[in-house]
């Protein structure tokens, strides 16, 4: 997915080829909520204002962040809304846009900054907002480049961002005795054939210390680790998992009976493979998902990282999708808002549980302890509210669902978001945050006042037409009113395929214990309110 979407060799979002149209809108491949109605972005802005008020109206140190900002339409509507609340607008020090596409970055700059020049800086690029000459707009390709500071209050928006992050797909199978016996001797992995009989029986303290320092979860692959330790990949992985999650280590290895035969289900990874020539037909994709014959490094540890996954292991054919990168982003959001969990911060170089590939370096995390949690993250995407996604990998082209393997680099590829996995990662990462939702987009927008705002826009349009200040005739006014009405209703549509039902909204906010005799505070849009 990463290669198809953001490769520098011609990814869907990062291609530098000139085109008459972009990916968004009726002439592109899909339409997003901000493009359907300005009210969507306005209500996101109102939500940020409400959270800022609820957290004590900070007068400085506020920043806005958006992940994958598209054309910049959402952030433009947010900034236009925030401008109506001068104390907050003055408190915002910068807007950070995490964007990998050069073409989209240029489109965002034009919309958000107008004719103000786009200049290079240490993080990437920067310019000045058209809404305020004192507001810096900063672009960076990776969230790791956005500074983490303990005295800042970041308000993070991730709209249709997580669905584009890579996933791993696993299926539970009951291997036949021959396969199990072969697997015990030779493990077929994505890195090639590994002879398990080459494993060394014992580990010295020095070897364990070296394994801890290598920090596989920070991006070093198993093959490199095995070479450095002069051990087999299986031996390294097993020891790493044993140190990381001692209570679950035995579950990562197939159970064996007294006769030595494997019993019980095992996870197999579904990997992208080229189709055999005899099955390759004209105008069909050249690739497909195939089930690995034996365990892969990912299948032997990722499905063991959560009780939600382990509960499905013994169900034949159970399929799950896991996105370590998504969990890493949720973890990063939580740490920025609430600080790093002190238990993790004091571990130093000790091996930590493998929950995701982290997105920041260990030294910065060890020092990041916030005195007071602040800020908030709002995640809006499609996916099941309470179950693990399965069979959701899809391609989108010209507003139609197609094979994800069709025309790699020119087809949008996405997968459903596992909201509970994001919540689990956020809560485990920081004691200073709590999670609200997910709730259906229709319910969230209705609670935020989408119908009332639409009625206000219609009234303003009618009043301007009656006053003769627009120069529009009645036909144009009628068309405008229809667009306003159809737009907001589409966003909250709760039909089987309606956006109001398919899209979910989840918030990560600072944890604040309730006062004695009072209920816990809930954010607006999630059953809560504020006192202005």
In the predicted model, is pLDDT for residue 127 greater than 70? yes
pLDDT of residue 263: 60
Q: How far is Cα 79 from Cα 132, in angstroms, rounded to an integer?
A: 9
Q: For 176-206, how does the pLDDT look when each residue is reduced to its tens digit (9 = 90+)?
A: 655 545 544 433 333 333 333 333 456 776 7
The whole-number pLDDT of residue 363 equals: 42
- Give me the mean pLDDT over the 165-186 stretch: 71
Q: How far apart are the first and last CA of the chain?
A: 45
Residues whose CB falls within 8 Å of the CB of residue 265, separated by 6 or more in sequence, listed in order: 172, 173, 174, 313, 314, 315, 316
pLDDT of residue 412: 82
State the pLDDT at residue 10. 74
Interval 63-71 mean pLDDT: 95
Residue 398: C-alpha distances to residues 14, 21, 414, 433 (Å): 18, 12, 14, 40
The ranges assigned to domains in the chain are: 1-167+325-347+367-448+494-510, 168-175+263-322
Average pLDDT over residues 148-166: 94
pLDDT above 90 as % of the chain: 53
Instruction: Average the pLDDT over 291-318 and give the result.
Output: 92
CA atoms of 31 and 477, how far apart (whole Å): 24
H/E/C letters for each residue in 276-335? CHHHCCCCCCCEEEEECCCCCCCCCCHHHCCHHHHCCCCCCCCEEEECHHHHHHHHHHHH
What percentage of the chain has pLDDT greater than the value 70? Answer: 76
Buried b (16+ CB within 10 A) or exposed e, 345-364: beeeeebbebbbebbbebee
- 225 vs 285: which has the higher pLDDT: 285
Determine the Cα–Cα distance for residues 486 and 389; give it in Å rounded to an integer: 30
Q: pLDDT at position 195, please?
A: 36
Topology of domain 1-167+325-347+367-448+494-510 in CATH is Rossmann fold (3.40.50)
DSSP designation for 355: S
Q: Which helix (H) or strand (E) holds 427?
A: helix 419-429
- For 14-54, how does the pLDDT look when each residue is reduced to its tens digit (9 = 90+)? 766 545 456 665 565 558 899 999 999 999 999 999 999 99
328-340 exposure pattern, b = at least 16 Cβ within 10 A, e = fewer:
bbbbbbbbbbbbb
Pairing of strands 376-382, 503-510: antiparallel
**Contact yes or no for 401/476 (Cβ under 8 A):** no
* CA distance linking residue 81 with residue 34, whole number of Å: 14
Half-sphere exposure of 249 (CA within 13 A, CB side): 15
């Amino acid at each position: 997915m990463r290669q198809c979407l953001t490769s520098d060799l011609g990814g869907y979002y990062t291609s530098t080829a000139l085109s008459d149209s972009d990916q968004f809108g009726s002439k592109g491949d899909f339409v997003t909520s901000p493009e359907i109605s300005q009210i969507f972005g306005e209500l996101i802005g109102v939500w940020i204002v409400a959270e800022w008020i609820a957290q004590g109206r900070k007068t400085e140190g506020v920043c806005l962040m958006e992940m994958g900002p598209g054309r910049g339409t959402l952030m433009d509507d947010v900034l236009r809304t925030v401008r109506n609340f001068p104390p907050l607008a003055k408190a915002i020090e910068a807007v950070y846009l995490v964007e990998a596409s050069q073409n989209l970055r240029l489109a965002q700059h034009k919309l958000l900054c107008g004719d103000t020049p786009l200049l290079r800086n240490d993080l990437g690029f920067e310019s000045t907002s058209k809404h305020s000459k004192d507001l810096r707009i900063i672009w960076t390709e990776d969230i790791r480049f956005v500074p983490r500071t303990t005295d800042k209050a970041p308000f993070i928006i991730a709209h249709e961002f997580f669905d584009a992050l890579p996933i791993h797909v696993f299926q539970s199978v009951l291997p036949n005795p021959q396969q199990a016996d072969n697997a015990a001797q030779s493990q077929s992995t994505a890195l090639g054939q590994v002879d398990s009989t080459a494993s060394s029986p014992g580990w010295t303290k020095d070897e364990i210390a070296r394994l801890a320092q290598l920090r596989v979860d920070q991006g070093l692959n198993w093959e490199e680790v095995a070479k450095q330790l002069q051990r087999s990949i299986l031996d390294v992985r097993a020891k790493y998992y044993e140190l990381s999650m001692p209570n679950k280590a035995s579950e990562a290895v197939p159970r064996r009976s007294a006769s030595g035969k494997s019993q019980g289900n095992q996870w197999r990874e579904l990997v992208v493979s080229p189709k055999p020539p005899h099955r390759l037909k004209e105008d069909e994709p050249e690739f497909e998902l195939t089930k690995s014959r034996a365990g892969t490094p990912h299948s032997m540890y990722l499905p063991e990282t959560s009780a939600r996954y382990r509960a499905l292991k013994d169900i034949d054919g159970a399929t799950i999708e896991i996105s370590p990168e998504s969990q890493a982003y949720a973890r990063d959001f939580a740490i920025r808002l609430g600080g790093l969990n002190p238990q993790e911060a004091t571990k130093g170089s000790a091996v930590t549980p493998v929950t995701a590939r982290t997105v920041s370096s260990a030294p910065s995390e060890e020092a990041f302890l916030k005195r007071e949690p602040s800020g908030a993250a709002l995640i809006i995407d499609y996916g099941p509210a309470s179950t693990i996604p399965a069979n959701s990998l899809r391609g989108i082209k010209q507003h139609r669902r197609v094979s994800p393997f069709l025309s790699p680099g020119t087809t949008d590829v996405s997968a459903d978001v596992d909201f509970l996995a994001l919540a689990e990662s956020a809560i485990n990462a920081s004691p200073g945050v709590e999670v609200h939702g997910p709730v259906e987009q229709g319910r969230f927008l209705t609670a935020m006042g989408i119908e009332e705002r639409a009625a206000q826009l219609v009234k303003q349009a009618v009043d301007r037409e009656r006053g003769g200040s627009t120069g529009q005739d009645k036909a144009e006014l009628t068309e405008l009113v229809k667009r306003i009405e159809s737009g907001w209703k589409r966003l909250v549509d709760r039909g089987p395929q309606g956006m109001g039902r398919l899209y979910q909204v989840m918030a990560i906010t600072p944890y604040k214990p309730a006062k004695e005799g009072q209920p816990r505070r809930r954010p607006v849009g999630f059953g809560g309110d504020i006192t202005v």
